[in-house]
Amino acid sequence: MQALTALPPLSEAARTPVGAEVLRGLSGRPKTLSPWLFYDDEGSRLFEAITELPEYYVTRAEREILAARADEIVGFAAGDHRLEIYELGAGAATKTGLLLQAALRRQGQVRYRAIDVSSSALDEAKERLEAKLPGLVVEPIVADYTDGLVHLDGDLGDGLSFRRPDERRMFLYIGSSIGNFDLPFALRILRDIRRQLLPGDALLLGADLVKDRQILLSAYDDSAGVTAAFNKNVLVRVNRELGSNFNLQLFRHRARWNEECSRIEMHLESLITQIVFIRALDLQVRLGRGETIHTENSYKFTDEQVEGLLGRAGFGIAKRWKDKNGWFGEYLAEAV
Ligand code: AVJ
């Protein structure tokens, strides 16, 4: 009893997702913050701006593939069935329109179920896509897919057993979102997707590929400083939501290529020795000069790695496409 009451009560803030993540990430060493923290309203806006930067080839390369291959992709996935399309981490769903249009050309009506943590991004996507694409029905599902997809079955309404026999599912997991996770976790996500599918259903996976180190580094450290602002915005968010006093001028954006792990890392480097106070968590964070907060991993893949992961998750490779530079890969996998 004594021991229990002597502990300070866990504050309300520490039990919110943001509070819990900041407490976890900044209490020990090395200091880390999960990349999902980037995507508040301002962060989502900054990410959209990143996708238009000259150095950030990722979105353009994938759009090039989808623009050229959408009919082929949809045709392969559908066979002679009707296709239902699901997307993980749909966000603003700007590239998805190319695939939805291709599906509409084939079958006139398409149900598109978009899963994302941001309800505002989903609402915006629904309004924009339904206005532009007659025959399309967008069903937003607000959820964090990294928690697993099993609990979605209620929301998805028609669990596997209620599927119409003439229907096939295609899951979209594009944009190299999978690159944010280490390989064991990436495998877990692919297996979660596989559990939502029947043999013959499809997964379209977009993955960024290993390439020249300078090209990678400038994609994550652009000359206009948009990626730096995106990275630092996480501190702005923590200041606002948890009442901390991070001074942005005392941190520097860093992008590093970690060859051994085949990933770009983003960090926020402390320019001096400093102590930051996080009021809502009653937490003091000491940062040494040069110490970093590691905010993101962006894994870069080879065909062998992607196809190995897909195979271990219960998929066979139906087909793969690259952009003209060979920088980005789009993999159509069939549930086996
Ligand atoms: C959205 C995870 C694919 O890793 O390239 C862009 C996020 N971070 N610039 C990526 C990001 C910095 C992006 N993903």
Q: Mind listing the pLDDT tens digit for each residue in 134-154? A: 999 999 998 888 888 865 554
**Per-residue confidence at 165, pLDDT binned at 50, 70, 90?**
confident
24 C-alpha to ligand 1 centroid (Å): 22
Mean pLDDT of the chain: 92
Whose Cα sits closest to atom 2 in ligand 1?
A: 177
Smallest CA separation from ligand 1 atom 12, residue: 220
Task: Give the percent of the chain with pLDDT over 90.
Answer: 82
- Structure tokens given for 277: 């106070």
C-alpha of residue 298 to centroid of ligand 1, in Å? 7
* Phi, psi (deg, nearest 5) at residue 116: -160, 160
Residues whose CB is less than 8 angstroms from the CB of residue 152 and which lie 6 or more positions away in sequence, other chains included? 115, 141, 143, 196
Across residues 1-15, what is the average pLDDT? 64
Lowest average pLDDT, out of 11-25, 178-192, 285-299, goes to 11-25
- Residue 298 binned pLDDT confidence (cut-offs 50, 70, 90): very high
This prediction's pTM: 0.93
What does the alpha-carbon distance between residue 7 and residue 62 come to, in Å, rounded to a whole number? 52
Contact (Cβ atoms closer than 8 angstroms) between residue 86 and residue 113: yes
Ligand 1 atom index nearest CA of 51: 6
User: Residue 296 corresponds to which amino acid?
Assistant: E
Instruction: Report yes or no: 168 and 80 within 8 Å, Cβ to Cβ.
Output: no
Taking CA atoms, 248 is separated from 134, 184, 236, 245, in Å, by 46, 34, 8, 9
Per-residue confidence (pLDDT) for residue 157, from 0 to 100: 47
Contact assessment for residue 110 and residue 104, using Cβ atoms and an 8 Å cutoff = yes
List, for residues 264-273, the tens digit of each pLDDT value: 999 999 999 9
Distance between Cα 227 and ligand 1 center (Å)? 9
Looking at 8-22, 187-201, 269-283, 319-333, which range is the least confident one? 8-22
> What is the 50 CA–ligand 1 centroid distance (Å)?
9
Look at residue 214 in the predicted model and tell me its pLDDT.
98
Q: How would residue 155 be classed by pLDDT, with cut points 50, 70 and 90? A: very low
State the average pLDDT over residues 186-212.
Answer: 96
How many whole angstroms from 190 Cα to the centroid of ligand 1? Answer: 19
* 8 has pLDDT over 60: no
Q: Is the pLDDT of residue 184 over 70?
A: yes
Instruction: Say how many Å lie between the CA of residue 149 and the centre of ligand 1.
Output: 22
Residue nearest to atom 9 of ligand 1 (CA): 220
Q: Which residues line ligand 1 (CB under 6 A)?
A: 50, 58, 175-177, 179-180, 220, 227, 296, 298
Cα–chain center distance at 46: 15
